[in-house]
Amino acid sequence: MNNLNIQLISENYVKERSTVMDNVENIFIRNNILLSQDIYLQDIIGSKLYDDIISQFEDYKTAYDAGTAGIAYSDYVDANYLTLVDNYIQPCLLYYTLYESSDDLYMKFTNKGIVTQTSDYSNTIGDEMFYKRKAGFLNKAEFYAKRLTNYLIDNHTTYTKYYESISDYSDNYPNEQSYLSNGWYLKTKGCQFKSNDIF
């Protein structure tokens, strides 16, 4: 089982590569990084590869936290995993994190209920624009998920854990179609509706 505290991207990575402002509290981003890793990334690459990557980064973090001098990721993480994480996983994870973070940044749970954010210096966007922006994040995440999947399929001999058979039902086999939205289409008399129209 993987460590749910190991992040493959940092809060600063999200802020530096998106329109998220520096004054956004890291806790909103951190929770959604971990959620996106656990739900989306694990579904894309499968539990075996995911757990192996997390385990190697955990080894690095343990040494770093212990104060080991002069350590680098490459001392603990396989070079092929570094390539995979830096070039394929991180861009994908960025947009899934933005997708998941959108709700937390748009509205808050308070003792008065669910409220939208307001301040003296800015106005929140309307629901329609919010859902369009959120859909944009999902589209980008799915683009990078497809790119990641194709890379793993093309390089399955390098990333042998990708197709390694799962041992029990607590593991996920890689979902090579995970980048496809779960949109459905209903056509009734005089009405056409797609589930993606909601978002």
Q: What is the pLDDT of residue 177?
A: 66
Instruction: Look at residue 116 and tell me if it is in a domain.
Output: yes
Give the confidence band of 196 by pLDDT, cuts at 50, 70, 90.
very low
Counted domains in the chain: 1
Instruction: Look at residue 4 and tell me if it is in a domain.
Output: no
Instruction: Look at residue 38 and tell me if it is in a domain.
Output: yes
- Please enumerate in sequence order all residues whose Cβ is within 8 A of that of 159, keeping only pairs 6 or more positions apart, or say none: 49, 80, 84, 152
- For 59-103, write each residue's pLDDT tens digit: 998 888 888 888 888 889 999 999 999 999 999 999 999 999 887
Q: How far apart are CA 79 and CA 67, in angstroms?
A: 23
Distances (CA, A) of 186 to 14, 31, 41, 160, 193: 37, 35, 30, 41, 5
* 3 state SS of 8: coil
Instruction: Look at residue 5 and tell me if it is in a domain.
Output: no
Contact (Cβ atoms closer than 8 angstroms) between residue 5 and residue 34? yes
Instruction: Look at residue 74 and tell me if it is in a domain.
Output: yes
The pLDDT of residue 184 is above 50: no
Domain hosting 82: range is 11-197
Instruction: Look at residue 107 and tell me if it is in a domain.
Output: yes
Q: What is the pLDDT of residue 194?
A: 43
Instruction: Look at residue 1 and tell me if it is in a domain.
Output: no
Instruction: Look at residue 57 and tell me if it is in a domain.
Output: yes
